[in-house]
Structure 1
Amino acid sequence: MTTSTAPRAGDDRRDANASAVLRTVLDHGPIARSRVAALTGLSASAVSRQAVDLVRLGLLHERPELAAAGTGTLGRPQLPLDLDPDRLAVAGLHIGLPFTTVALLDLRGRVLRRKELPHRGRTGPDLLRPLLARLPRLIDTLRGDRTVVGLGAVTGGSVDPAAGVVVRHDPLRWRDLPLRELLTAATGLPVQVDNHARALTLAEILFGHPAARSSMVQLFVGHVVDAALAVAGTVHLGPPSATGDLGHLPVSGTVTDPDADSRERCHCGRLGCLSVAASDTALFAAAAAEGVTAGPDRAQLIAAVRRGDPTAGRLVRNRARIVGRALALLADVVNPDLVVLTETFALLDPAHLDVVRAEFALRSHLHRDAGLLIAQPRGRDVLAVAAGAPVLGELYARPVHALTAPRAAHRP
């Protein structure tokens, strides 16, 4: 969340132990201290010390009513610990092409409140200036009585989380944008910046499918097409600040004809890139061109699909087939335990995910079980969860440092 104070070796051990206790409570809570010790391998006294710190910091609280009901004893080793549901929250900012999502999340990654701010075609500085001016008051309104301990900010494209810089986001016309510096100045909060696919991957590791902690691939299909990879609970970050660039994966087909080669050139200069073949931009434009919608509009296309418009359904199924092909290529290379797809129509209707799975199974040379491919499970909360995930990841990795470093408990 902030790295202004370099931790000493003793601080590292303290944070590692605190993290082990906090993650165990996240996974198993409410849970007694004695059980935490058994699961973590820490001594009872070490667990007790960490629990005292974590309760004081507002991350954990004791549940004596559960001990009284379950065991008839209030002895502290049996006194259950749980995440504190009321004191702390993290704020999140997802900056997309059509709108920005501002959200407040609890310690389990659950969305408490959120608000969407439409961009109305603004990009570059014209988007950023009003957002920075409005954000402090908006966070203050959302937080209620909770203390906001940090702000996560995620977007598509190439993002350097260590520097807090958006290196490149072509649709938003951003290059080398010091987003963390700008947001810290605007809000006074510690800020974590990352790519939204990596953020969603981290959220899945923390709060989602158990297989995510072994190995997983995340594909985000929106106006920007991004992917992320995690192994053994660690999200991969390669040089220079990218997991990869799946948007330029060569694929066959278009949303109008999945068996035809694309004739539209990508901004990279090549034909057949996934970002051109299957992005929201391509899908919404095709829907408008074929008279399904009055213009390139997400809500209108969703409505057309829901009322059974045959052309709308065909376009969406065509995209699903292209995405399934891309995921088959990716899964054959990486061979992960889990593949997670974040895409509008797979989230809305399992039938669309079935089309992706069928194409995935058909195209995969490893003939993997298509059941390893799931839709992102958070539905309409997906962008809000991605937004808060970088802060929550830091909080669970280094809880003591995160909440005792300068400015880490600021109330906007």
Structure 2
Amino acid sequence: MHRHSQAPTQPTVAGHPDTTGSAAAVLRAVLDHGPVARTLVGRATGLSPAAVSRQTADLISLGLLRELPPPSTPPRAGRPFIPLDIDTRHHVACGVHIAVPFITFSLVDLRGRVLAQENIPHQGVAVEVLRQIGGHLPGFMARHARGNRPIGLGVVTGGRVDPQRGVIVEHGLLGWRDVPVCQALAAVTTLPVYVDGHARALAQAEILFGDPRARRSLVHLFVGNVVDAAIATGGTVHRGPHSGAGDVAHLSLSDVPVTCPCGRSGCVQAAISEQTLVKRAVRDGMIPTPDLGSLTEAVRGGDPRARTLLRDRLRLIGRVVAMLLDMIDPEVLVFTEYTTIFLPELLADLYEEIAAHSRVCTDPERTVLSSRFGPQALAVAAGATVLDAVHRSPRSLYPVLPVPMRPGPSTRGSAR
């Protein structure tokens, strides 16, 4: 369960007991197949026609489903076919992603589509970053919500995050430890606040909106300034008793001569992170400042040294992917890495390296997928924590009131 700013109660629908699982199943079926007829929802969920009717009526009243006009072609026999679809007209999930250099604010609809996104820089001090978030949110919502009702705030970042307590336990690159994100922001926004690691949040997004195989078993690998992973089976992301599942930053690439801040040599994050990549590009005179966009443009401009640098890094990423495939053997592995989003022709090097090093993956191009969310991955990740909660428990919307956010945050707790 995620940490909430308030403990939502689950009311029952008049005349029958609470059936949150059935409501979630119906919502999931419409998400997967909509626009879709009620009869097909019944087949997908195994629910009786009466149960489907009750659940759809309830979900329509919540603004989660809607009926579309019947098709223009007349039905062959029986009652008219009235399609059901996800209702994206009323609710939005608000998201915040905390990266090393900047904060991404986003609004995401119930189908995971990014409606608005803004980036602002930060200076890295935890208390001040939380103040920035609380101060920026009201204006961001006023500019972009357009009357839609925010159903929650998702806050995600790299490092080790405890969703139960809503705390960033450790973010090595930012130097943060035990930062009480939920406590600080719940009092400011009056919304339920969901806090998680960005790799786990992206895994949730893939389960909701990505390849259907992801619901059976999935590994998500995030390669940015932070390198981390998430593991999911049966549609549930594993966190571990210490919220440490997916920590791959210090897996060893023993033959890579790079020293990690932890004191060891060859750690994955030290070898393949964006920081390592752009620093090397500056050192070798490929770009004037450590900026990934500039390096990508150098490749597009025909710089052979820049292309070789990216290809060599992708081969290292391919070795990491092969390790994860052999350890976990998932149905699908999804990776989020920005150079391949803009230079997809480089994926051939990644697939070649996976094939050379994995003992179980015989078809890398089928098993290993680039994130479907592309440049909007960080924006989707933040909203996905909220969307996951709503799709798992649709009636959690009942206690959320459309109360305006209060500007002028006062951050509780301290970061050390």
Do both proteins adopt the same fold according to a TM-score greater than 0.5, normalized to the shorter chain? yes
Counterpart residue type for residue 88 of structure 2: P
Q: Offset of 1:151 from its aligned partner?
A: 1.0
Aligned residue in 2 for 1:46:
51
SS in structure 2 at match of 1:104: strand
Aligned residue in 2 for 1:200:
202
Q: Offset of 1:8 from its aligned partner?
A: 8.1
Q: Offset of 1:387 from its aligned partner?
A: 0.8
CA distance in 1, matches of 2:42, 2:67: 16
Counterpart residue type for residue 21 of structure 2: A
- C-alpha change, 1:20 and 1:267, in structure 2 (3 Å) is same
TM-score if structure 1 supplies the norm length? 0.92
- Asked if 1 retains the 8 angstrom alpha-carbon contact of 2:325 and 2:361, the reply is no
Counterpart residue type for residue 375 of structure 1: S
Q: Offset of 1:122 from its aligned partner?
A: 3.4
TM-score if structure 2 supplies the norm length? 0.91
Q: Offset of 1:374 from its aligned partner?
A: 1.1
Aligned residue in 2 for 1:71:
75
Q: Offset of 1:276 from its aligned partner?
A: 0.3
Q: Offset of 1:353 from its aligned partner?
A: 1.7
Residue 392 in structure 1 maps to residue 387 in structure 2: yes
Gaps of 5+ in 2: 406-416
Residue 140 in structure 1 maps to residue 142 in structure 2: yes
SS in structure 2 at match of 1:109: coil
Between 1:323-332 and 1:236-245, the stretch displaced more is 236-245
Q: Offset of 1:138 from its aligned partner?
A: 1.3
CA distance in 2, matches of 1:225, 1:361: 22
- Asked if 1 retains the 8 angstrom alpha-carbon contact of 2:130 and 2:185, the reply is no
More helix as a share of residues: 1
SS in structure 2 at match of 1:91: strand
Work out which of the residue numbers 291, 307, 318 in structure 2 matches 1:313.
Answer: 307
- C-alpha change, 1:184 and 1:74, in structure 2 (3 Å) is farther
- Asked if 1 retains the 8 angstrom alpha-carbon contact of 2:63 and 2:90, the reply is yes
Residue 22 in structure 1 maps to residue 27 in structure 2: yes
Work out which of the residue numbers 362, 365, 373 in structure 1 matches 2:368.
Answer: 373
- Asked if 1 retains the 8 angstrom alpha-carbon contact of 2:95 and 2:106, the reply is yes
Give the paired residue count.
Answer: 399
CA distance in 2, matches of 1:172, 1:136: 25
Counterpart residue type for residue 85 of structure 1: T
Aligned residue in 2 for 1:188:
190
- Asked if 2 retains the 8 angstrom alpha-carbon contact of 1:190 and 1:408, the reply is no
Q: Percent identity?
A: 43
Counterpart residue type for residue 373 of structure 1: V
Q: What is the RMSD computed on CA atoms of the aligned residues?
A: 2.1
CA distance in 2, matches of 1:351, 1:273: 27
Counterpart residue type for residue 379 of structure 2: A
- Asked if 2 retains the 8 angstrom alpha-carbon contact of 1:25 and 1:82, the reply is yes
SS in structure 2 at match of 1:246: coil
Superposition pairs for residues 29-108 of structure 1, below 5 Å? 29-66=34-71, 68-69=72-73, 71=75, 75=79, 78-108=81-111
Q: Offset of 1:124 from its aligned partner?
A: 2.8
Superposition pairs for residues 258-337 of structure 1, below 5 Å? 261-264=256-259, 266-337=260-331
- Asked if 2 retains the 8 angstrom alpha-carbon contact of 1:347 and 1:377, the reply is no
Aligned residue in 2 for 1:257:
none
SS in structure 1 at match of 2:19: helix
Aligned residue in 2 for 1:220:
222
Counterpart residue type for residue 219 of structure 1: L
Q: Offset of 1:268 from its aligned partner?
A: 2.1
Q: Offset of 1:369 from its aligned partner?
A: 1.5
Q: Offset of 1:226 from its aligned partner?
A: 0.6
Counterpart residue type for residue 346 of structure 2: H
